[in-house]
Structure 1
Amino acid sequence: MRAFVLTGPGTYEVQDVPEPVAAPGEVVVDVERVGVCGTDMEFYTGHMAYLHQGHSSYPMRLGHEWAGRVAAVGEGVDAGWIGRRVMGDTMLGCGSCRRCLRDRQHVCEKRQEVGIRGGRAGALAERLAVPAASLHALPDSVDAALGALVEPGGNALRAARAAAPRAGDRVLVLGPGTIGLLVAIFLRAAGAEVHLLDRPGSSPAFAHTLGFEHVWDEQTLPELPFDAVVDASNAAHLPPRALELVEPAGRLVYIGLAAEPGAIDTRRLVLKDITAVGVLSASPGLDATISAYASGTVDPRPLVAATVSLDEVGPVLAGGRPKGAGPGPKIHVDPRPATA
């Protein structure tokens, strides 16, 4: 089968590799759609922390936001999975440690992460092998594009819930990329008044098309009380800025990761009586995200700007935009062979 292989920082090949075989407890999935993520771009540049911590190494197969159809099952797996449309959890815990036994496999110290950590091959290929226990079935109303948006959506849903908005609360989201916009969409569905903070000079036009009226930059942000602030940016100066902006007794949610650490004054955190939450993984939010997509409560499909082939992944990882791409921040990949 064909697979996109990252061979080093800035270097890649689309290779013919052996097809995966379903080991005991695993399934093989025919991949239909894969999302390109900021984490994938960090691996492309060589800046991803896991590379320097020994959790990941080249060559590697990326792709952790995916949807497809089960083609084969291994020993011990219910054959009823065959033919079902699914997506899968990225975080694969060891299953036996204290954290896994408490349903916190997404922070298992020995975890693998599909397409990211521990040598577990990702979905930028025609087929993918994953544990059956990581699968989440997709209803007919959740198509391939939506299925590949469940993983980022699960992260965003958890961040929106951590902000704990009550109807009418005003929430500020820093960084309207894919995750930031998904957070904003979930917050709006919960009844919050949502404001977005973008980089200076960025156009608010796309956010406006999604129905968000309050889009600012750091020069135009009005002095308003924000009951919660969600930092979905990659800017090191914004975590402490979020603490400045949130109302006393409010909530801070950190889901973005900067290349450099940001300094937070814990004295201010205490004196403002702030609740601060970090969100790492979509795992606890996957089922609820699928339900929200299936019911139409949330529709993130406008975020997808283009769908490309495996041969077009490299330029996307380098920051390029496919020809004819729409205004959304997310690029999808269809790894299936082109039909005549």
Structure 2
Amino acid sequence: MITGPGQAGVQDVEPPSAAAGEVVVDVARAGVCGTDVEFYTGEMQYLHESHAAYPMRIGHEWMGTVSGVGSGVDPAWIGRRVTGDTMLGCQRCERCRAGFHHVCAFRDELGVRNGRPGALAEQVAIPAWALHALPDTVDDVAGAMVEPGGNAWRSVDAANLRAGDRVLILGPGTIGLLCALFARAAGAEVHLLGRTGRSLEFARTFGFDGVWTESELPELAWHAVIDSSNAPHLPARALELVEPGRRIVHVGLAGSPSLIDTRMLALGDVTAVGILGASAGLDPTIAAYGDGSVDPRPLVAATVELEDLAAILAGTRPEHAGAGPKIHVEIAEQTSPRQEGP
């Protein structure tokens, strides 16, 4: 539970119950996201827009096993390994009926918005319609990486890449690296841009076609640019770099407004796409993880216990952590037959 800026710890709370149309999941593993850190620091925009308030239970990257169902839910879900959608639209408004539940004005977001309790807990309740079953070929580590993977899959899909296209991805964090893996699986030539340090060196271990700092970036034709960074100046840089007639995709969010010159957008006939949430990308991500075309598990630097999480949110990196950007919390014993990750 995060109870205020810089204040977090483990608390005993009432266990969830499955309301009508919902299930209860025994959580096995959950990831820590940059959004969770922003809630801890108090910087997350939802706090200032009254979409979220302390105290709050975080956690929206997760997997587990269904242990209970509410009325109206098929009992066959019990015992199945699952992950789930973060964006819980009302299912009644025009946006939801049109397939845009992830931008429903009345949506809850698991562990993020409107006080919906998240999955960094022993159990979580979630609507059955938001569940996504995990095959045996997706182990627990990969299962808890489906949500960030869905954001990356949607970003690459929005870039409209063709085989052989050259894509530049800004920011070698979790989403940026996953974008790079999905783009490579789609047959693109993949380059990343970042700042010197551990993250850039880690990105080089994947053997992408190029990993650059801003001063090193070569003058090449970029057929798509995906901005997965939090740097306020990079959205404008993406527009400067992309080839006319092609696409820039914005999945990263800066802490302050970013400015672009819409004259360049129009005169270059450039399409700019914003990405919010993983919803439409969850099933394709599960399929890619399951068939091995994308393996997210090397991104997990360390797996800790729930009691260690407050220190992680405060910026402490586990002593045994590898070079990857993602920290996982193991809440229950592993449940999948194939377990090879950290």
Task: Give your verdict on TM over 0.5.
Answer: yes
Q: Deviations over 1:49-103 (max 9, x none)?
A: 1001011000000000000000011111111000000000000001110000011
Q: CA deviation at 1:336?
A: 3.0
Residue identity opposite 1:288 in structure 2: P
Alignment partner, residue 185 of structure 1: 181
What is the rounded CA distance, in whole Å, between the counterparts of 1:233 and 1:183 in structure 2? Answer: 12
Alignment partner, residue 299 of structure 1: 295
Q: Which runs of 5+ in 1 are unaligned?
A: none
Alignment partner, residue 194 of structure 2: 198
What does residue range 106-145 of structure 1 map to in structure 2 within 5 Å? 106-145=102-141
User: Which of residues 268, 272, 292 in structure 2 aligns to 1:272?
Assistant: 268
SS in 1 for 2:96: helix
Query: Identity over aligned residues, as a percent?
Result: 65
What does residue range 1-340 of structure 1 map to in structure 2 within 5 Å? 5-201=1-197, 204-336=200-332
Q: CA deviation at 1:315?
A: 1.4
SS in 2 for 1:172: strand
Alignment partner, residue 340 of structure 2: none
* TM-score relative to the length of structure 1: 0.96
Give yes or no for contact 2:25–2:66 (8 Å, CA) kept in 1: yes
Residue identity opposite 1:124 in structure 2: L
What is the RMSD of the two structures over their aligned residues, measured on CA atoms? 1.2
Give yes or no for contact 1:88–1:136 (8 Å, CA) kept in 2: yes
What is the rounded CA distance, in whole Å, between the counterparts of 2:312 and 2:246 in structure 1? Answer: 38
Q: CA deviation at 1:324?
A: 0.6
Moved over 3 A (4+): 200-204
What is the rounded CA distance, in whole Å, between the counterparts of 1:317 and 1:337 in structure 2? Answer: 23
SS in 2 for 1:41: helix
SS in 1 for 2:8: strand
Q: CA deviation at 1:202?
A: 5.3
What is the rounded CA distance, in whole Å, between the counterparts of 2:329 and 2:198 in structure 1? Answer: 26
What is the rounded CA distance, in whole Å, between the counterparts of 1:280 and 1:238 in structure 2? Answer: 18
Give yes or no for contact 2:149–2:285 (8 Å, CA) kept in 1: yes
What is the rounded CA distance, in whole Å, between the counterparts of 1:134 and 1:201 in structure 2? Answer: 38
Q: CA deviation at 1:201?
A: 4.8
Q: 1:225 to 1:19 in 2, by over 3 A?
A: same
Report how many aligned residue pairs link the two structures: 334
What is the rounded CA distance, in whole Å, between the counterparts of 1:201 and 1:207 in structure 2? Answer: 10
* TM-score relative to the length of structure 2: 0.96
